[in-house]
Structure 1
Amino acid sequence: MTERLRSSDRRAVSGTAGVGSRISPRGVARKRDCFLDPRVKPTLNGLARRLARTRDQLMKRWLAETSEQCEKTDVGCDPQLAGYFAFAMEEVCAGLLIVETDPSLLAHISVKLPGKSLPAQWRVTDLFKNIESLQRCLKEEIRSYFGTGAATVEVHVRAHETVERTFRAIIESAIEARMQRQAAEVSVAQAGLQRALTALQATEERLRVATSAAGIGIFEWCGVSRKGVWENRRMYEITGQPEEQGPLTGTEFMAQVIHPDDVELLRSHFQSRLLSREPVHVAFRLYRKADRALRTVEMFGHLGPAVGQDDFRFVGSLCDVTERADAEAKLKDADRRKDIFLATLAHELRNPLAAVRNAGHLLGHSAGADPLRREWLRNVIERQTAHLSHLIDDLLDVSRITTGKIELKRQTFDIAEALEHALEIAMPAAVQRHQDLISLPLERPVYVNADPARITQTFSNLLDNAIKYTEDGGRIIVAATVVAHEVCVTVSDSGVGISDDAMPHVFDLFVQGSGHGEPSRGGLGIGLSVCKTLTEMHGGAIAVRSEGRNRGSEFEVRLPICPGKEEARRGFAAGQPHCARLRVLIVDDNVDAALSLAMILNSHDVRTVHSGEEALKIAACFDPHVVLLDLGLPGISGFEVARRLRDHQLLRERLKIIAVSGYGQPEDMARSSAAGCDSHLIKPVDIELLLTIMGRIAEESNAAG
């Protein structure tokens, strides 16, 4: 546009421009000679020279009228105003020169404002006011110029018209520039607004995704209208309200879905927050409208400032926390049962210990002289230590089961063997309570592929449970039948029975008398849980039935049958009589344990030592057949003693090392085996098992000559 205007200016000066062209006079004035002969009558050229000579005075006068602050300042004090004045004067002078050359170009004067020719703070009214004052100063100067010379009226009028048209063009150009600048500002504002809206939409979308993923419902309630606005579908899912019916109001929410016992809790909490303006945070229960399912929810929210009485604006969130609440309740229940278990464990351990301590005291005093009383005290100690051992075994079983470390030693055997052994274990307790223990055996052998010890433990636990929860003189029946490809063993009693609410928890860990609806009658509450786990590990199933309180109960165990084999060896072979006298070395830092074990094995040649160093010295000269080795020795450990004995050239061929330890985990047994032990017995040692092992070693020694 600028290049086209400047080209037009050049054509105007040369007299070749057409009438219909719009002319920009900028630049032409610089090329014309403004100093003509002063004796010539007043002309537009002379007026242009006059304005150029008096520009500084005109600027000072105009600045004084434009602003009171500019009355005492220099021309250069405000570069923007000075630049604007210089631009206007240049355009007027250029216009005068062009019109002098060709009066017909007067109607085509145009102006293009430079980028920063007008002060940015000027409004449109300021523009008109200041241009008017500048135009007035120029007109006064024009009248002064033409008043001193003989000029025609036509030239005078043309001068005023040139100034008028130039300033009109300046005003038009200024307005157009201002409009373009405002349009650019509006465009920038619109772009910023669009970016803000886009960011807001993205934030809202992220919020919707987050609340949806977290299962959070967003809502708003108004106090005056009592209406609600639900921001997402999750509110309908939590409350069960049909979407087509719209959101519930606050009143409907309280009346239709809140659990009646929690209405007052929610109302009082909300009222207190209305007064304190603290955030709302409360958990309560509700009945889902769709299916009347009871759910636990948690509400968070903030109350807006009240506009009037009883008015509020509440924006909140609702989250279904039923699973979390149930988990917390189960955790509290587990913690409660853990405390009960620890208290019961202490009680169960102290009872047999008290009996053993009393028996030991009596044996050391007058009762030890009476053979009958001494025999009775011995039986007491054996029964109570067996009970302690049973409790410890139960605890270890639970530990192995919960950590997944229990291993089954399967073999094929007749299920009747396990039942017979379990009945033998339970019979003394039943006789003591005058209970009838009736067995209905199978007519033929039924073989299972299982761990004999674990199956016996399962039946023994069921019998022990039946004996404890059956009154004195009651009846317990053990029956075995074959159903399809399974053997079904039932243990039924005439005891206290099981209530309906306790039935689902019978096999839970640490559940004792509560599983029967009455106080505990001894035990740790882990026996039935162990039965269930062991049965399922064998591919079987266990179930319980009862017709209610005081109507007895029945436990049923089902195990898969495997084809019977004549060569299937019995899992409970009795110990063979000793065939040879063995040299036995007992190594135990507990003197009482070592000496009592030596007394049990008094049919053999026995030596006892109480440290690893002594064991190595005695073994070198005693040349034992068997070493009963405690693993937890002071100084040299039992593991190291076993390794050194195996390294001894004279002992390693025929020596049998039996580890005797209170550690009985699978990793403990693997470690003792790696050290060179042939067997691993757990304290307190099963005497019958020890005698069986000793008999087998004696047989082997006798056969070897």
Structure 2
Amino acid sequence: MNSASLIDQQANLTLSGLACEFARSLRPLLRRALGGTSTGCVQVDRAGKRRLIRYFAYMVLAVSDALLRADRSDLPTDDERVAIPEGLCPREWRVTDLFRNIEQVQRCLKEEVRAYFSPVSTTVDVHMRAHEIVERTFRAIIEAAIEVQLARQAADVSAAQDRLQKALAALQHTEERLRVATSAAGIGIFEWRGSSRSGVWENRQMYQITGQPEEQGPLTAEQFMALVHPADVDLLLSHFRSSLMSAQHVHVAFRLSRVTDRALRTVEMFGHFRSFVEEDDYIFIGSLSDVTERADAEAKLKDADRRKDIFLATLAHELRNPLAPVRNAAHLLGHDAGNDPAKREWLRNVIERQTGHLAHLIDDLLDVSRITTGKIELRREAFDIRQAVDHALEMTTAAALQRHHDIVRLPLDDPAYIDGDPSRIAQIFSNVLDNAIKYTDHGGRVVVRAAVVDRQVCVTISDTGTGITADALPHVFDLFVQGSGHGEESRGGLGIGLSVCKTLTEMHGGTIAARSEGRNKGSEFEIRLPISEAGKHEAAHESNGLERRSSARLPILIVDDNVDVAMSLAMILDKHDIRTAHSGEEALQIAETFEPRLVFLDLGLPGISGYEVARRLRARQASSRHLEIVAVSGYGQPEDKVRSASAGCDGHLIKPVDVEALLAVVSRIAASSPSN
């Protein structure tokens, strides 16, 4: 080759020509560069190859652009920067592999530069400038890649810090909510270390539950176990051992004595074991709740349930007891015993006494129902307390004589008036007397004293009976409590009489108290009631409930669907003109021609009810003739009496009817009769 052609060839080898050569041979150049790349940073798949090709093409074009600018005397300076398009550097690429791939492309371009200038045998400046441009451009590319990586790392660190801050804030909020919740619920939380058997941490509620001073730090395992009730130590330890072996949660309730005041509390523990770094060591994380009130309530419920079962069994027993002699008496009256006047009278007394006992049991049950529902009402009036004491003694005399008791009465010399319900006050005294008679053995003594002390009437009923033990004494007025507290069987009754006495006494503004020195030392009940101002005035009219009886013969209609009830009442009132009816229709038909002066009317009639019968009788009543209607019903609540009165009834008697009360009604009407 001559010198002229060589000079022409050198003139054609320019930087712009090199840039054009790069563009013309871009595809084979990229394939060669791709063949020598490091693919350890990415998964070599179609998408990965496309990303590498785009990145390699970007570098080749950056060098070509620098060559073109240099050919126009616009050389890049050392501080010129290269901007890498977004997405050319995937986040999953490692920095070392990225730089190795950049170096591979740079090597391929340098080889391409050498090949481009190889036809020239001598080194020229343009060749050197081409290598310099390639070096500077790749240095700028590397710096840009480093900046991208640093920016990504900074963004990652910032994002991680943000996530950490959010996590810490969320943890702080969770801990705050947990503190509020545990504080509101009174839950103690603690952490124990197994190897040292020491408390690692406790919250404030834990200190309050155990009574441990907070400044003394958490309790050790030994200190905590020393607080546990001796009877519950084995229970707690067995739960710990079984849970530790089975990796199950601990859930156990036990009793412990607080550190400060030694108060016995019932607590409930939840917790679980967590393995620790050291071998054969663990952390126990648990919670402790004071459930004393709940445990006491559960114990009371169990006791109430037990007493309820006893009460139901006692009720069945007490209801059957009077039925046996009544049935026997009824059998004997139908045979030879009915012909003997003495036996007949004895059997009549048996039936009367036993049915009275049944009525007393039913009254007690109704009183408990009225008291628990708040429906009991007092019919207050000013009366002499001595009347109530006398009435109570009359009601219990038969039972005292049967047991051969000596009843001693130490009465008031002067009247003492109280404002109350005479029948309810008499019920209080009779219930206490009945209790004293039952729990005093045959031949014992019952003393009734009455005195005025500090503007109060004090009635004391004492006996020489079985007495009351010290542990049973605080519970004698509880519902369904029976017996003397010595473990002996009940001597009758439902265990509700004294509870009713306490409620009725307190409703009258008074107090009732029980005293006893123990087994076989007898007992004493003291009832105190406030004196009424009415006592300063003239004594009220006294009455024993029996009105002056008249010999006037009254037309009386007895209406009851129970034939036995109707016929037995007719026999009691056989001195009067009696008609009986067993339905509402029959009663109305009889009343049209009979014109009764007094009607004893059962309210629960079939067909036409007693209420409707009363209304129709009132509608037919002649203005010149007075008719008195007395309701007879097994329902005696205040609302029942209001309903019967609204239907036109003048009175309301409760089944089984007190014969004396019935006769008093008849006597009162007979006494007011014009024919008398």
* TM-score scaled by length of structure 1: 0.89
Aligned to 1:188: 159
Deviation at 1:243, TM superposition (A): 1.8
Report whether the alignment pairs 1:466 with 2:436: yes
Q: Deviations over 1:523-545 (max 9, x none)?
A: 11111101100000111111112
Change (3 A) 1:114 1:569: farther
Aligned to 1:587: 559
Aligned to 1:436: 406
Deviation at 1:47, TM superposition (A): 2.2
Partners of 1:95 and 1:109 within 8 A in 2: no
Aligned to 2:284: 314
Report whether the alignment pairs 1:383 with 2:353: yes
Partners of 2:431 and 2:498 within 8 A in 1: yes
Where do 1:167-316 residues align within 5 Å?
Answer: 167-254=138-225, 256-305=226-275, 311-316=281-286
Partners of 1:575 and 1:688 within 8 A in 2: no
Q: Deviations over 1:148-168 (max 9, x none)?
A: 348863332222111111110
Report whether the alignment pairs 1:635 with 2:584: no
Q: Classify the secondary structure of the residue corresponding to 2:288.
A: strand
Aligned to 1:495: 465
Q: 1:63 & 1:619 partners in 2: Cα distance? A: 125
Deviation at 1:650, TM superposition (A): 3.6
Aligned to 2:5: none
Where do 1:276-675 residues align within 5 Å?
Answer: 276-305=246-275, 311-515=281-485, 518-563=488-533, 564=535, 565-566=537-538, 568-570=540-542, 572-578=544-550, 580-650=552-622, 654-675=626-647
Structure 1 unaligned blocks of 5 or more = 1-36
Deviation at 1:179, TM superposition (A): 0.8
Alignment RMSD: 2.5
Partners of 1:41 and 1:150 within 8 A in 2: no
The worse-fitting range, judged by mean Cα deviation, of 310-319 and 346-355 is: 310-319
Structure 2 unaligned blocks of 5 or more = 1-7
Q: Classify the secondary structure of the residue corresponding to 2:267.
A: strand
Report whether the alignment pairs 1:57 with 2:28: yes
Change (3 A) 1:309 1:126: closer
The count of corresponding residues between Structure 1 and Structure 2 is: 664
Deviation at 1:624, TM superposition (A): 0.9
Instruction: Choose from 82, 92, 95 the match for 2:53.
Output: 82
Q: 1:575 & 1:669 partners in 2: Cα distance? A: 23
Deviation at 1:310, TM superposition (A): 5.8
Aligned to 1:158: 129
Change (3 A) 1:555 1:612: same
Q: Classify the secondary structure of the residue corresponding to 2:248.
A: coil
Partners of 2:516 and 2:522 within 8 A in 1: yes
Deviation at 1:449, TM superposition (A): 0.8
1:42 alignment partner AA: L
Q: 1:230 & 1:75 partners in 2: Cα distance? A: 58
2:646 alignment partner AA: A
Change (3 A) 1:488 1:77: closer
Partners of 1:452 and 1:571 within 8 A in 2: no
Q: Classify the secondary structure of the residue corresponding to 1:482.
A: strand
Q: Classify the secondary structure of the residue corresponding to 1:337.
A: helix
The worse-fitting range, judged by mean Cα deviation, of 527-536 and 477-486 is: 477-486
Q: 1:91 & 1:540 partners in 2: Cα distance? A: 110
Partners of 1:623 and 1:651 within 8 A in 2: no
Q: Deviations over 1:486-544 (max 9, x none)?
A: 21111122222211111110101111114466432111111110110000011111111
Q: Classify the secondary structure of the residue corresponding to 1:513.
A: coil
Q: 1:76 & 1:346 partners in 2: Cα distance? A: 92
Q: 2:129 & 2:248 partners in 1: Cα distance? A: 80
Aligned to 1:29: none
Aligned to 1:26: none
Q: 2:278 & 2:77 partners in 1: Cα distance? A: 71
Q: 2:449 & 2:661 partners in 1: Cα distance? A: 29
Change (3 A) 1:666 1:602: same
Change (3 A) 1:351 1:217: same
The worse-fitting range, judged by mean Cα deviation, of 525-534 and 328-337 is: 328-337
Q: Deviations over 1:274-315 (max 9, x none)?
A: 333332222222222221122222222223358888644332
Partners of 1:99 and 1:105 within 8 A in 2: yes
Partners of 2:614 and 2:649 within 8 A in 1: yes
Q: Classify the secondary structure of the residue corresponding to 1:628.
A: strand
Deviation at 1:399, TM superposition (A): 0.8
Deviation at 1:561, TM superposition (A): 1.3
The worse-fitting range, judged by mean Cα deviation, of 306-315 and 610-619 is: 306-315
Q: Classify the secondary structure of the residue corresponding to 2:11.
A: coil
